[in-house]
Structure 1
Amino acid sequence: MRQLIAALLLASAPAAAQTATQPAPAMAGPAAGTGYLTPRPAQSLLRLLPPPPEPGSPEARAEIRLYKDSRRGIGGPLWNKAVGQLSVTSPAFVQQLSCALGAKIGPQTTPATMAILRRAGADLGPAINAAKEYYKRPRPFTMDRGKACDPDSAVDGGKALGFSYPSGHAAVGWLWGLILADIRPERSAALLHFGKQTGDLRMACRVHYLSDVTHGRLFATGLYQAIADHAEYKADISRAAAELSLAPVPEGCPAS
């Protein structure tokens, strides 16, 4: 989870800021790590998050069955697509998001759009991490040492991935889909499909249970509603919409 938070905060950083040999240039607007909400209101939204299913409950048993059934997808198309989404800053993830948006996004070409995603990610990341630390739900692959698409799952019991509940990927995919749909409402269906699939692919990867994903989206929805009332957010949306109207159309997207 720490790696996911770091990726969220770097999502709009200039390329030079991501190298160890060059200092980051000054960024206009809020500093990196600054969200729309203060940490306390962002984390207070966690009261919207129900606990994961009790071990041994019918819901928990159903989730275990779904996880075990997912063995049939190992090495398949969804598994391979999930490999491309291990990081929310990976080229594959950004390409898929650009295709859903109908505009090629990046820190150099669409800085205002990327800044919105970074700020929302700065609100999301610490709150999700707090929930993970509170519930301490083990990852599904720790139950049976099952194969997962993330190579970190095979190292030291998957400790680098952190706890399972709720899913940070599911939350950020859904949150960014909602935000980008505000910027380009005509692309809402494609963006929300992308956001939902981001979470679904974590189940195909075999690193999350169903409730990790669905409740990650639930928290993201509550956070989005709080952010959407923020005056700075509304101003940022207008700037990003103007910016995206000039952005190039991404290449290599599947036919819709």
Structure 2
Amino acid sequence: MRKTSFLAGLLLLVLTTTGQAEDAKPFITNADVDLTAILPPPPANDSTITKAELAEVLTLQLTRTPEMEARAKADAEENVWRFSDVMGPKFTKEALPKLDAFFERVVATEGAVVDPAKDVWKRPRPHMLSDLVRPVVKPSTSGSWPSGHTTLGTVMGIVLSDMVPEKRAEIMARAWEYGHNRVVAGIHYPSDIEMGRISGAVIASNLQHNAEFETEYAAAKAELRADLGM
């Protein structure tokens, strides 16, 4: 009986935790920021630009080191904890529950704004146009324009550096690397990254006018700065 009760409790905990992660509510959606009205359409598949970009991806594929590949694989994760290498050992999910919940909503916001635009443009990813491309991360067939990872990395970088301006240079450099690693991974074109950075900046700017964002931002910032001793 005790064993059955323990397993039931464990299952309930897992389901509750999973549900909380899935239920993260975006602060804003594509109804608030329509990227199709802001960004230009992607280059055509047979354009000189796309061919040149595909050559860049293939060149990087030949020159990337095992260390670069490992970094790109790790950056496939979409969460703020990828910034721990510049934030320090105290920057952990366990120590910062308010920050974790806040950035889960930031992650949901990126998807709510970017995914509808991707579905409109449907730019094929590099490996979908050339069999020579060998991604080092799980291949995706969702639209390539703009890069959602880069959009998210840019938003996270801007917001995190606003919380800790003392580390702004390091945080934004890490955000830029996070986006570039999508090209290193062979899953995006360089222009996807450029559009992702623009998208991220636009989203970050719009978030500053959202009351829910401002309230949760203040609490997460206070928690973070206290944890870091700032």
**TM-score category by the smaller chain?**
0.7 to 0.9
User: Cα gap change, 1:247/1:218 in structure 2, threshold over 3 Å: closer, same or farther?
Assistant: same
Q: Once the 2 structures are TM-superposed, how far is the Cα of residue 107 of structure 1 from its aligned partner?
A: 3.8
RMSD: 2.7
Q: 2:16 aligns with which of 20, 24, 27?
A: 24
Which amino acid letter does the alignment assign opposite residue 55 of structure 2? Answer: R
- How far, CA to CA, are the matches of 2:188 and 2:152 in structure 1? 15
- How far, CA to CA, are the matches of 1:39 and 1:130 in structure 2? 7
Q: Are the counterparts in 2 of residues 46 and 219 from structure 1 also a CA contact under 8 Å?
A: no
User: Cα gap change, 1:20/1:165 in structure 2, threshold over 3 Å: closer, same or farther?
Assistant: farther
Are 2:140 and 1:149 equivalent residues in the alignment? no
Unaligned runs of 5+ in 1: 1-18, 250-256
Q: Which residue of 2 aligns with 1:131?
A: 117
Q: Which residue of 2 aligns with 1:175?
A: 155
Cα distance per residue 1:18-65 (max 9 Å; x no partner): x7863326x99xx933222255214x2442121112334342232122
Q: 1:119 aligns with which of 105, 108, 117?
A: 105
User: Cα gap change, 1:20/1:209 in structure 2, threshold over 3 Å: closer, same or farther?
Assistant: farther
Query: Does the residue aligned with 2:166 lie in a helix, a strand or coil?
Result: helix
Identity among equivalent positions (%) equals 24
> TM-score, normalised on structure 2?
0.82
Q: Are the counterparts in 1 of residues 35 and 117 from structure 2 also a CA contact under 8 Å?
A: no
Q: Which residue of 2 aligns with 1:41?
A: 32
Q: Once the 2 structures are TM-superposed, how far is the Cα of residue 69 of structure 1 from its aligned partner?
A: 1.0
Q: 1:101 aligns with which of 83, 87, 96?
A: 87
Q: Are the counterparts in 1 of residues 29 and 112 from structure 2 also a CA contact under 8 Å?
A: no
Q: Are the counterparts in 1 of residues 30 and 116 from structure 2 also a CA contact under 8 Å?
A: no
> TM-score, normalised on structure 1?
0.75
Cα distance per residue 1:193-215 (max 9 Å; x no partner): 11111110010011100111110
Q: Are the counterparts in 2 of residues 83 and 149 from structure 1 also a CA contact under 8 Å?
A: yes
Q: Which residue of 2 aligns with 1:216?
A: 196
Q: How many residues align?
A: 217
Q: Are the counterparts in 1 of residues 146 and 196 from structure 2 also a CA contact under 8 Å?
A: yes
- How far, CA to CA, are the matches of 2:190 and 2:68 in structure 1? 16
Q: Which has the larger radius of gyration?
A: 2
